[in-house]
Amino acid sequence: MTIAPPPPSAAERLKFYSVWIVAVAALVILPKIFSSGGSLTTFSLIGISIIFSLSYNILLGQTGMLSFGHAVYYGLGGFLAVHAINIIAKHKYAIPLPVVPLIGGIAGLVFAMLLGWVSTRRSGTAFAMISLGVAELVASSALILRSFFGGEAGISANRTKVLRLFDWSFGPQIQIYYLVAAWTLIAVIAMYALTRTPLGRMCNAVRDNPERVQFVGYDPHVIRYIAFCFSGFFAGIAGALAAINFEIANSAYLGAAQSGTVLFSTYIGGAGFFIGPIVGAIFVTALSLSLSDLTQVWQLYFGLIFIAVVMFAPGGITGLLMMHRPLIKAGTLTRVLPSYLIAFVPTLAMIVGLILTIEITVYHTVNPGDDPHIKAFGIPFDASNHGVWAIAAVLLVGGFLIARKSWALVAARWDDALTEARAKGVAA
Amino acid sequence: MSNAIEMRGVEKTFGVTKVIQGVNLTVAKGERHALIGPNGAGKSTTFNLISGYMKPSAGSILLNDREISGLPPFRINRLGLSRSFQVTNVFAKMTVWENLRCAVLWATGHRYAFWKNIDNLPEVRERTAQILQDISLVSRRDVPAGLLTYAEQRALEIGITVAGGADVILLDEPTAGMSNAETERAVEQIRRLTEGRTLLIVEHDMSVVFGLADRISVLVYGEVIASGTPDEIRSSRKVREAYLGEEAA
């Protein structure tokens, strides 16, 4: 073993760059396959959410700071972008639309620089509480300072009125999609590069042990502050793209729900991995768009998913997938897979039972006067039929009891496979 | 010969309890100095005061003739003083390599740089590799620090402490909890790593203290009651009564 880690081999370098090339190709090809306006909007929202979630993870995953108010920088980026578009259009400045997200980013950066110095003095509870306080402060001023924030209605803009570049009006959604895709790619690369710098490495050190950082010459406050500023910058870019996409910015951009969603995406995706927030942003955005069509109480399901992830998969979706790496390397994954299938059936039954129970309860508590023939997740059933109640109860309770046994089986198989992988010399 | 560390009338009060009462201590440049004393005498507090972890209530502390009392730890570190901790205090989720690299970054002048590629800094790489070899953890390079054995974590702790190249090193019970063989190895390592630097060490193992130190200071109830060569300390009646005698009895 050489002392220093060897520089990446040609094969590793090729693998690294091909990931990025595949990503670019996927971004270009996606709209050719799914060309409907709806899917283009979905892709645009996912791209925005990826930038926003990654910016949040500079705080949570990289530097160990839990913020409850990250939407402040997203929202201010959005408002500044809308004002910028209006000013550019009014004075006919020679600034094309693709540059506007940078204005949003600078807005996010400036506000992070102003608001972050005090809150980054501490991490942990103090930081979380101050972030919450600042978020409330900004969200309430959004309703008071009407000339800037436009009150309840917000401020709208017409994105087609700015200088045209190569005859792109940015009216059609496909052009917005490419704008978002390009910015997403730039932001993802920039944020990845940031993790590979002295500052990025020291962010991890502050996350692990802020006390010790002081004894190797660094001021953890300064590290947290710089990380916070970067985080605000990229959040501002995401907010500006959202404002361009919707042609409006309103107080919801800055609100607690928006701050909650980004925490949610990042955590579900896996804050411990660089790609975690990307996975989370795709999952949560796609799910929130589809779930809201399927059921009235989609937020409730979101809450349940979040609790399930926190309890059973603290590493998020990415963490779950990464757990399998040593097994794949050692070729012992096949020992686990059959047990997954066995566990899948009762777990699914339990989930169906849970969904039925929730939907029946919602019907009887929220809309008791309506027609009991309701439809949830595309399946019609009669919520006042006692037979359905019985089925729900049997699925929920029976499913849970059997599922618990099957999970024990999965755990046992898992231990076997991992022991075997270790025996083959694969590090976990 | 000038002093690396000089404490003059340093006091530290927690609430109404005076833990350190007027400590006067001088450590000459290049000297290996051991600080001994019974449990609760204030040895760790003295370390915390010198390294900036705590602020003294009164008195002054000089590092290379420069007043440092009241400065935050990172400023004191930048002035050339580095300390280890009694309870292992590393970056648990990062690998051994990354732990050592973090300790090298400030000293090599990269500070808060966010425009440099970490893998493209040859002097950082060389220094990290050197320390990794010095603490004999080459085979554990890519293991997260939290998964190391106890003795390995202690070695990493010392590695992080010396990696920045500080010329004054404070080690807080570096061999605590080690077996005899491990202690012997650790002492050899400490001797090698602190060659040409000033060392102040807190240690309970008297064989380590008398084998390693050029001078010894005895701290009892927050006061330095004696300071001298190992022979002087061994033959001092005051010390025997207050400390060594208790152990012998």
CATH number for the domain harbouring residue A34: 1.10.3470
Q: How many residues does chain A have?
A: 428
Instruction: Name the pairing type of β-strands B32-36 and B58-63.
Output: unpaired
% chain B with pLDDT above 70: 97
Least Cα distance to B77 among B110, B114, B51 occurs for: B51
One domain for residues A142 and A109: yes
User: CB-CB: which of A3, A208, A212 is closest to B132?
Assistant: A3
Distance CA(B115)–CA(B101), nearest Å, equals: 17
H-helix or E-strand spanning residue B228: strand B223-228
Half-sphere exposure of A209 (CA within 13 A, CB side): 19
Question: Residue A197: inside a domain, yes or no?
Answer: yes
**What total number of domains does chain A contain?**
2
Dihedral pair phi/psi, residue A368, rounded to 5°:
-65, -25
Q: Does A320 touch chain B (CB under 8 A)?
A: no
DSSP state of A335: G
Local structure of B87: helix, strand or coil: coil
Question: Residue A312: inside a domain, yes or no?
Answer: no
Distance between first and last Cα of chain A: 20
Q: Is the Cβ pair B112, A205 closer than 8 Å?
A: no
Distance between first and last Cα of chain B: 39
% chain A with pLDDT above 90: 74
Question: Residue A371: inside a domain, yes or no?
Answer: yes
Cβ(A221)–Cβ(A121) below 8 Å: yes
One domain for residues A329 and A298: no
Check which CATH number belongs to the domain holding B52 and give it: 3.40.50.300
Q: pLDDT-based confidence at B245, cuts 50/70/90?
A: low
Distance CA(A317)–CA(A276), nearest Å, equals: 7
Q: Which letter, b or e, does each residue of A120-132 get, where b requires 16 or more Cβ atoms within 10 Å of its Cβ? A: bebbeeebbebbb
Q: Does A216 touch chain B (CB under 8 A)?
A: yes
Distance CA(B204)–CA(B37), nearest Å, equals: 8
One domain for residues A231 and A339: no
One domain for residues A358 and A416: yes
- Torsional sign, CA B159, B160, B166, B169: negative
Which residues fall within 8 angstroms of residue A35, CB to CB, at 6 or more apart? Answer: A174
Instruction: Name the pairing type of β-strands A373-376 and B58-63.
Output: unpaired
DSSP state of A275: S
One domain for residues B74 and B85: no
Question: Residue A95: inside a domain, yes or no?
Answer: yes
Q: Does A380 touch chain B (CB under 8 A)?
A: no
Q: How far is A322 from chain B (nearest CA, A)?
A: 16
| Least confident interval from A176-180, A194-198, B236-240 | B236-240
Q: How far is A92 from chain B (nearest CA, A)?
A: 35
One domain for residues B65 and B86: no
Is the confidence at residue A369, as pLDDT, over 70? yes
Is the confidence at residue A46, as pLDDT, over 50? yes
**Set of chain B residues whose Cβ sits within 8 Å of the Cβ of A219:** 72, 74
Question: Residue B185: inside a domain, yes or no?
Answer: no
Q: Write down the pLDDT at residue B40.
A: 87
Give the structural domain span for B26: 1-79+198-249
Question: Residue B181: inside a domain, yes or no?
Answer: no
Which residues fall within 8 angstroms of residue B8, CB to CB, at 6 or more apart? Answer: B24, B59, B60, B61, B62
Q: Write down the pLDDT at residue A151.
A: 86
Q: Does A13 touch chain B (CB under 8 A)?
A: no
Section A251-276 average pLDDT:
95
CA-based nearest residue in chain A for residue B104: A216
Is the confidence at residue B155, as pLDDT, over 70? yes
Is the confidence at residue A309, as pLDDT, over 60? yes
One domain for residues A355 and A231: no
Question: Residue B32: inside a domain, yes or no?
Answer: yes
Predicted ipTM of the assembly:
0.94
Q: Does A218 touch chain B (CB under 8 A)?
A: yes
Q: pLDDT-based confidence at A370, cuts 50/70/90?
A: confident
**Chain B contact probe: residue of A120, A202, A215 with most B CBs at under 10 A:** A215
Q: Write down the pLDDT at residue B247.
A: 52
Q: Which amino acid is at B219?
A: L
Distance CA(B107)–CA(A218), nearest Å, equals: 10
Give the structural domain span for A27: 14-302
Distance CA(A68)–CA(B42), nearest Å, equals: 41
Distance CA(B172)–CA(B201), nearest Å, equals: 6
Q: Write down the pLDDT at residue A284.
A: 94
One domain for residues A294 and A359: no
One domain for residues A143 and A54: yes
Half-sphere exposure of A329 (CA within 13 A, CB side): 14
Cβ(B125)–Cβ(A237) below 8 Å: no
Distance CA(B7)–CA(B65), nearest Å, equals: 10
Q: How many residues does chain B have?
A: 249
Domain boundary among A302, A334, A365: A302
One domain for residues A273 and A336: no
Q: pLDDT-based confidence at B244, cuts 50/70/90?
A: low
One domain for residues B71 and B9: yes
CA-based nearest residue in chain A for residue B159: A216
Cβ(B77)–Cβ(A216) below 8 Å: yes
Q: How many residue pairs from chains A and B have C-beta atoms closer than 8 A?
A: 114
Distance CA(B63)–CA(A271), nearest Å, equals: 42
Which residue intervals of chain B are DSSP H helices? 43-50, 73-78, 96-105, 122-134, 150-163, 180-193, 206-212, 230-235, 237-239, 245-248
Mean of all residue pLDDT scores within chain A: 92
H-helix or E-strand spanning residue A138: helix A124-144
Question: Residue A309: inside a domain, yes or no?
Answer: no
Cβ(B71)–Cβ(B52) below 8 Å: yes
Cβ(A396)–Cβ(A388) below 8 Å: no
Q: Is the Cβ pair A200, B118 closer than 8 Å?
A: yes
Question: Residue A9: inside a domain, yes or no?
Answer: no
**Set of chain A residues whose Cβ sits within 8 Å of the Cβ of B92:** 208-209
One domain for residues A335 and A298: no
Q: Is the Cβ pair A215, B93 closer than 8 Å?
A: no
Chain segment B165-208, per-residue pLDDT in tens: 999 999 999 999 899 999 999 999 999 999 999 999 999 899 99
**Set of chain B residues whose Cβ sits within 8 Å of the Cβ of A208:** 91-94
One domain for residues B15 and B88: no
Q: Write down the pLDDT at residue A386.
A: 86
Chain segment B94-118, per-residue pLDDT in tens: 999 999 999 999 999 999 999 999 9
Both tokens of residue A148? 């800037």
Cβ(A76)–Cβ(A236) below 8 Å: yes
The number of beta carbons lying within 10 Å of the beta carbon of residue B149 is: 10
Instruction: Tell me what percent of chain A is helix, strand and coil, each rounded to the nearest 5.
Output: 75, 5, 20
H-helix or E-strand spanning residue B66: strand B66-67
Question: Residue B170: inside a domain, yes or no?
Answer: no
**Set of chain A residues whose Cβ sits within 8 Å of the Cβ of B139:** 1
Is the confidence at residue B32, as pLDDT, over 80? yes
Q: Is the Cβ pair B133, A3 closer than 8 Å?
A: yes
One domain for residues B85 and B60: no
Q: pLDDT-based confidence at A189, cuts 50/70/90?
A: very high
Q: Does A209 touch chain B (CB under 8 A)?
A: yes
Q: pLDDT-based confidence at A169, cuts 50/70/90?
A: confident
DSSP state of A159: G
One domain for residues A82 and A203: yes
Question: Residue A134: inside a domain, yes or no?
Answer: yes
- List Cα–Cα distances, A193 to A103, A168, B232, in angstroms: 21, 30, 58
One domain for residues A93 and A209: yes
Cβ(B100)–Cβ(B132) below 8 Å: yes
Q: Is the Cβ pair B74, A7 closer than 8 Å?
A: no
Both tokens of residue B60? 């002054």
Question: Residue B193: inside a domain, yes or no?
Answer: no
CA-based nearest residue in chain B for residue A219: B74
% chain A with pLDDT above 70: 99
Q: How far is B218 from chain A (nearest CA, A)?
A: 26
One domain for residues B44 and B112: no
User: CB-CB: which of A194, A211, A223 is closest to B89?
Assistant: A211
DSSP string of A65-126?
Answer: ---S-THHHHHHHHHHHHHHHHHHHHHT-S-BGGGHHHHHHHHHHHHHHHHHHHHTTS-HHH
Question: Residue B174: inside a domain, yes or no?
Answer: no
**Set of chain A residues whose Cβ sits within 8 Å of the Cβ of B90:** 209, 212
Least Cα distance to A194 among A310, A270, A274 occurs for: A274
Q: Is the Cβ pair B160, A212 closer than 8 Å?
A: yes
Both tokens of residue B35? 């600080």
Distance CA(A375)–CA(A364), nearest Å, equals: 14
- Largest alpha-carbon pair distance within chain B? 62
Cβ(B8)–Cβ(B63) below 8 Å: no
Is the confidence at residue B246, as pLDDT, over 70? no
Domain boundary among A256, A271, A302: A302
Instruction: Name the pairing type of β-strands A379-382 and B3-14.
Output: unpaired
Q: How far is A19 from chain B (nearest CA, A)?
A: 20
| pTM higher than the cut 0.90 | yes
Q: How far is A104 from chain B (nearest CA, A)?
A: 21
**What total number of domains does chain B contain?**
2
Q: Write down the pLDDT at residue B249.
A: 41
Section A300-322 average pLDDT:
93
**Set of chain A residues whose Cβ sits within 8 Å of the Cβ of B110:** 198
Domain boundary among A302, A334, A354: A302
Question: Residue A318: inside a domain, yes or no?
Answer: no
Cβ(B210)–Cβ(B187) below 8 Å: no
Q: pLDDT-based confidence at A1, cuts 50/70/90?
A: low
